[in-house]
Amino acid sequence: MSTATDNHASQTLPARPKELAMHFDNLHQQFHSGKLGMWLFLGQELLFFCGLFTAYAVYRGNHQDLFHYCHWFLDWKLGAVNTVVLLVSSLTAAWSVRCAQLEQRTGLLITLALTFICAGAFMVVKYFEYTHKLHIGATWGGSFSVATEDLPAQLLERYPDMTGEKLKTMGAGTFFAIYFCMTGLHGIHVLVGMGIYIWLFIRALKGHFNRRYYGAVDNVALYWHIVDIIWIFLFPMLYLIG
Protein backbone atom coordinates (compact mmCIF):
# COMPACT_ATOMS: atom_id res chain seq x y z
CA MET A 1 0.00 0.00 0.00
CA SER A 2 2.70 2.41 1.01
CA THR A 3 4.73 1.75 -2.12
CA ALA A 4 1.69 2.38 -4.27
CA THR A 5 1.12 5.93 -3.07
CA ASP A 6 4.78 6.64 -3.34
CA ASN A 7 5.05 5.58 -6.96
CA HIS A 8 2.09 7.74 -7.60
CA ALA A 9 3.68 10.73 -5.98
CA SER A 10 6.89 10.34 -7.92
CA GLN A 11 4.99 10.42 -11.20
CA THR A 12 3.05 13.60 -10.57
CA LEU A 13 5.76 15.56 -8.78
CA PRO A 14 8.71 17.11 -10.59
CA ALA A 15 12.23 16.45 -9.30
CA ARG A 16 12.83 17.16 -5.59
CA PRO A 17 12.76 20.91 -5.02
CA LYS A 18 15.99 22.22 -3.57
CA GLU A 19 14.24 23.52 -0.45
CA LEU A 20 12.96 20.06 0.45
CA ALA A 21 14.81 18.46 3.34
CA MET A 22 15.90 14.88 2.79
CA HIS A 23 13.51 13.30 5.28
CA PHE A 24 10.27 14.78 3.92
CA ASP A 25 8.27 13.44 0.98
CA ASN A 26 7.07 16.81 -0.28
CA LEU A 27 7.00 20.50 0.55
CA HIS A 28 3.46 20.30 1.85
CA GLN A 29 4.51 17.85 4.57
CA GLN A 30 7.54 19.96 5.37
CA PHE A 31 5.52 23.15 5.65
CA HIS A 32 2.95 21.62 7.96
CA SER A 33 5.56 20.00 10.16
CA GLY A 34 7.15 23.35 10.73
CA LYS A 35 3.83 24.93 11.40
CA LEU A 36 2.70 22.35 13.92
CA GLY A 37 6.05 22.74 15.62
CA MET A 38 5.50 26.47 15.85
CA TRP A 39 2.02 26.08 17.30
CA LEU A 40 3.37 23.78 19.97
CA PHE A 41 6.08 26.27 20.70
CA LEU A 42 3.45 28.97 21.11
CA GLY A 43 1.57 26.73 23.54
CA GLN A 44 4.79 26.46 25.48
CA GLU A 45 5.18 30.26 25.40
CA LEU A 46 1.72 30.76 26.84
CA LEU A 47 2.45 28.46 29.76
CA PHE A 48 5.76 30.17 30.28
CA PHE A 49 3.95 33.47 30.74
CA CYS A 50 1.22 31.80 32.76
CA GLY A 51 3.58 31.56 35.71
CA LEU A 52 3.87 35.34 35.69
CA PHE A 53 0.16 35.87 35.25
CA THR A 54 -0.45 33.62 38.24
CA ALA A 55 2.06 35.50 40.33
CA TYR A 56 0.32 38.71 39.27
CA ALA A 57 -3.07 37.31 40.30
CA VAL A 58 -1.80 36.13 43.67
CA TYR A 59 -0.13 39.40 44.54
CA ARG A 60 -2.97 41.44 43.23
CA GLY A 61 -5.34 39.40 45.41
CA ASN A 62 -3.13 39.90 48.45
CA HIS A 63 -2.35 43.59 47.88
CA GLN A 64 -5.40 45.12 46.21
CA ASP A 65 -4.68 48.61 47.54
CA LEU A 66 -1.08 48.54 46.44
CA PHE A 67 -1.97 47.69 42.86
CA HIS A 68 -4.54 50.43 43.00
CA TYR A 69 -2.05 53.08 44.08
CA CYS A 70 0.78 51.93 41.90
CA HIS A 71 -1.00 51.66 38.59
CA TRP A 72 -0.86 55.47 38.40
CA PHE A 73 2.87 55.22 38.00
CA LEU A 74 2.29 53.71 34.59
CA ASP A 75 1.35 56.18 31.90
CA TRP A 76 -1.64 54.72 30.08
CA LYS A 77 -1.06 57.03 27.13
CA LEU A 78 2.35 55.57 26.44
CA GLY A 79 0.90 52.12 26.92
CA ALA A 80 -1.86 52.88 24.44
CA VAL A 81 0.63 54.16 21.89
CA ASN A 82 2.60 50.97 22.24
CA THR A 83 -0.53 48.88 21.88
CA VAL A 84 -1.34 50.58 18.60
CA VAL A 85 2.25 50.19 17.40
CA LEU A 86 2.18 46.48 18.12
CA LEU A 87 -1.19 46.01 16.47
CA VAL A 88 0.10 47.68 13.34
CA SER A 89 3.16 45.46 13.40
CA SER A 90 0.90 42.43 13.60
CA LEU A 91 -0.88 43.67 10.51
CA THR A 92 2.38 44.10 8.62
CA ALA A 93 3.57 40.69 9.83
CA ALA A 94 0.41 39.06 8.46
CA TRP A 95 0.77 41.08 5.30
CA SER A 96 4.33 39.85 4.82
CA VAL A 97 3.03 36.28 4.78
CA ARG A 98 0.59 37.20 2.03
CA CYS A 99 3.37 38.89 0.06
CA ALA A 100 5.53 35.79 0.38
CA GLN A 101 2.67 33.61 -0.84
CA LEU A 102 2.12 35.87 -3.84
CA GLU A 103 5.86 36.16 -4.49
CA GLN A 104 5.69 39.97 -4.25
CA ARG A 105 9.31 40.52 -3.37
CA THR A 106 9.23 44.28 -2.82
CA GLY A 107 6.07 44.01 -0.79
CA LEU A 108 7.66 41.32 1.31
CA LEU A 109 10.75 43.41 1.97
CA ILE A 110 8.69 46.45 2.89
CA THR A 111 6.35 44.62 5.24
CA LEU A 112 9.23 42.82 6.96
CA ALA A 113 11.03 46.12 7.42
CA LEU A 114 7.88 47.80 8.74
CA THR A 115 7.35 45.04 11.27
CA PHE A 116 10.90 45.50 12.43
CA ILE A 117 10.50 49.25 12.67
CA CYS A 118 7.30 48.99 14.71
CA ALA A 119 9.00 46.57 17.07
CA GLY A 120 11.84 49.06 17.40
CA ALA A 121 9.42 51.88 18.10
CA PHE A 122 7.81 49.78 20.82
CA MET A 123 11.18 49.29 22.46
CA VAL A 124 11.99 52.99 22.26
CA VAL A 125 8.81 53.87 24.13
CA LYS A 126 9.62 51.12 26.64
CA TYR A 127 13.05 52.63 27.08
CA PHE A 128 11.57 55.99 28.04
CA GLU A 129 9.10 54.39 30.41
CA TYR A 130 11.83 52.37 32.12
CA THR A 131 14.31 55.20 32.45
CA HIS A 132 11.68 57.45 33.97
CA LYS A 133 10.89 54.84 36.60
CA LEU A 134 14.52 54.21 37.36
CA HIS A 135 15.02 57.95 37.58
CA ILE A 136 12.34 58.57 40.22
CA GLY A 137 13.26 55.36 42.04
CA ALA A 138 10.11 53.38 41.25
CA THR A 139 11.97 50.10 41.20
CA TRP A 140 11.71 46.54 42.43
CA GLY A 141 11.82 45.13 45.93
CA GLY A 142 13.61 46.94 48.70
CA SER A 143 15.23 49.32 46.24
CA PHE A 144 11.91 51.13 45.77
CA SER A 145 12.21 54.66 47.08
CA VAL A 146 10.26 57.49 45.52
CA ALA A 147 10.22 60.99 46.91
CA THR A 148 6.70 62.17 47.69
CA GLU A 149 6.91 64.98 45.15
CA ASP A 150 7.66 62.41 42.44
CA LEU A 151 4.45 60.49 43.08
CA PRO A 152 2.00 60.56 40.15
CA ALA A 153 -0.33 63.53 40.24
CA GLN A 154 -3.51 61.44 40.01
CA LEU A 155 -2.45 59.46 43.05
CA LEU A 156 -1.83 62.59 45.14
CA GLU A 157 -5.08 64.13 43.95
CA ARG A 158 -7.09 61.26 45.34
CA TYR A 159 -4.96 60.50 48.36
CA PRO A 160 -3.38 63.80 49.37
CA ASP A 161 -1.68 62.34 52.47
CA MET A 162 0.08 59.56 50.55
CA THR A 163 3.86 59.62 50.81
CA GLY A 164 6.66 57.73 49.09
CA GLU A 165 7.68 56.30 52.43
CA LYS A 166 4.18 54.89 53.03
CA LEU A 167 4.14 53.21 49.66
CA LYS A 168 7.50 51.67 50.36
CA THR A 169 6.40 50.16 53.64
CA MET A 170 3.25 48.83 52.00
CA GLY A 171 5.53 46.91 49.65
CA ALA A 172 5.29 48.88 46.43
CA GLY A 173 8.53 47.14 45.47
CA THR A 174 6.55 43.97 44.89
CA PHE A 175 4.31 45.68 42.37
CA PHE A 176 7.30 46.93 40.48
CA ALA A 177 9.03 43.55 40.68
CA ILE A 178 6.01 42.07 38.93
CA TYR A 179 5.79 44.97 36.53
CA PHE A 180 9.43 44.74 35.50
CA CYS A 181 9.39 40.94 35.28
CA MET A 182 6.32 40.86 33.08
CA THR A 183 7.15 43.72 30.76
CA GLY A 184 10.83 42.78 30.80
CA LEU A 185 10.20 39.23 29.70
CA HIS A 186 7.84 40.53 27.06
CA GLY A 187 10.47 43.03 25.97
CA ILE A 188 13.02 40.23 25.59
CA HIS A 189 10.56 38.49 23.30
CA VAL A 190 10.23 41.65 21.24
CA LEU A 191 14.01 41.91 20.94
CA VAL A 192 14.27 38.29 19.86
CA GLY A 193 11.53 38.93 17.31
CA MET A 194 13.48 41.89 15.95
CA GLY A 195 16.52 39.68 15.50
CA ILE A 196 14.49 37.10 13.63
CA TYR A 197 12.98 39.75 11.39
CA ILE A 198 16.46 40.85 10.37
CA TRP A 199 17.22 37.25 9.48
CA LEU A 200 14.00 36.99 7.45
CA PHE A 201 14.79 40.25 5.70
CA ILE A 202 18.21 38.96 4.62
CA ARG A 203 16.71 35.72 3.38
CA ALA A 204 14.03 37.63 1.50
CA LEU A 205 16.72 39.81 -0.06
CA LYS A 206 18.47 36.68 -1.26
CA GLY A 207 15.19 35.54 -2.76
CA HIS A 208 14.81 32.42 -0.64
CA PHE A 209 11.04 32.47 -0.47
CA ASN A 210 8.47 31.54 -3.05
CA ARG A 211 4.84 30.51 -3.13
CA ARG A 212 5.66 26.90 -2.24
CA TYR A 213 8.29 27.73 0.32
CA TYR A 214 7.48 30.49 2.77
CA GLY A 215 7.13 28.56 6.04
CA ALA A 216 9.68 30.68 7.87
CA VAL A 217 7.80 33.92 7.16
CA ASP A 218 4.55 32.32 8.24
CA ASN A 219 5.92 30.82 11.45
CA VAL A 220 7.72 33.96 12.53
CA ALA A 221 4.51 35.90 11.98
CA LEU A 222 2.74 33.44 14.27
CA TYR A 223 5.38 34.04 16.90
CA TRP A 224 4.99 37.76 16.43
CA HIS A 225 1.24 37.53 16.96
CA ILE A 226 1.67 35.76 20.28
CA VAL A 227 4.08 38.45 21.44
CA ASP A 228 1.43 40.94 20.46
CA ILE A 229 -1.37 39.08 22.22
CA ILE A 230 0.59 38.87 25.44
CA TRP A 231 0.98 42.61 25.37
CA ILE A 232 -2.74 42.96 24.79
CA PHE A 233 -3.18 41.30 28.18
CA LEU A 234 -0.35 43.09 29.93
CA PHE A 235 -1.57 46.53 28.98
CA PRO A 236 -4.95 46.49 30.73
CA MET A 237 -3.74 44.36 33.62
CA LEU A 238 -0.94 46.70 34.53
CA TYR A 239 -1.88 50.11 33.15
CA LEU A 240 -5.65 50.27 33.18
CA ILE A 241 -7.18 48.29 36.02
CA GLY A 242 -7.03 50.43 39.10
Partner 1 sequence: MAGGVVEKPADPAAGGDVYRPLAVNYINKFKGIGNWLITLDHKRIGIMYLGAVTFALLLGGLFAILLRTELLFPGTAANPEVIASNDWYNKFFTLHGAVMVFLFIIPGIPASMGNFILPMQLGAKDLALPRVNLMSLWLYWIGTVFFIGVLVLGGLDTGWTLYPPYSSGRDVQLTLIFAYTAVFILGFSSILTGLNFIVTMHKLRPPGMGMYDMPLFLWALYATSLIQVLATPVIGITLGLSIVEHLFKIGIFLPEYGGDPVMYQHFFWFYSHPAVYIMVLPAMGVQSEIIATFSRKHVFGYKAIAWSSIAIAAIGFIVWGHHMFVSGQSPTAGIIFSFLTFLVAIPSAIKVFNWVATLYKGSIDLKTPMIYGLNFIYLFGVGGLTGLFLASTANNVHLHDTYFVIAHFHMVMVGSVLNAFLGGVHLWWPKMTGRMYSEFWGRIAAIFVFLGFNLAFMPQFVAGTRGMPRRYANYLDEFTIFHQLSTIGAYLLGLGVVIQVTYLIHSLFKGKQAPPNPWGASSLEWQSDSPPDHHNFTAKPIVMGPYDYENWEYVSENRGWVLKREVVETRKTLAKADH
Give the C-alpha separation, 20 to 34, whole Å. 12
With CB under 8 A as the contact rule, which of the stretches 34-42, 121-129, 149-157, 220-228 interacts with partner 1?
34-42
Select from 95, 116, 140, 239 the one that contacts partner 1 (CB under 8 A): 140
Please report how close the Cβ of residue 141 comes to partner 1 at its closest, in angstroms. 4
- Residue 186, amino acid: H
Could you tell me the smallest distance in angstroms from the CB atom of residue 116 to partner 1?
Answer: 24
Q: For the chain, how big is the Rg over CA atoms in Å? A: 23
8 binds partner 1 (CB under 8 A): yes
State which of residues 16, 19, 27, 34 lies at the interface with partner 1 (CB under 8 A). Answer: 34
Q: Which of 1, 149, 157, 161 binds partner 1 (CB under 8 A)?
A: 1
CA distances from 241 to 28, 153, 235, 237 (A): 45, 17, 9, 6
Nearer to partner 1, 99 or 234 (CB): 234
Q: How many residues bind partner 1 (CB under 8 A)?
A: 42
**Spatial CA neighbour of 159 closest among 62, 242, 59, 60:** 242
Tell the smallest beta-carbon distance from residue 36 to partner 1 (Å): 5
169 binds partner 1 (CB under 8 A): no
Beta-carbon-side half-sphere exposure of residue 88 (alpha carbons within 13 Å): 17
Residue 35 C-beta: closest distance to partner 1, Å = 9
Q: Which amino acid is at 217?
A: V
> Least distance to partner 1 from the beta carbon of 10, Å?
12
With beta carbons less than 8 A apart as the criterion, state whether 83 and 238 touch.
no
Question: What does the alpha-carbon distance between residue 76 and residue 242 come to, in Å, rounded to a whole number?
Answer: 11
| 159, 69 contact by CB (below 8 A) | yes
Interface positions with partner 1 (CB under 8 A): 1-8, 21-23, 29, 32-34, 36-37, 40-41, 43-45, 47-52, 54-55, 58, 140-143, 171, 173-174, 177-178, 181, 185
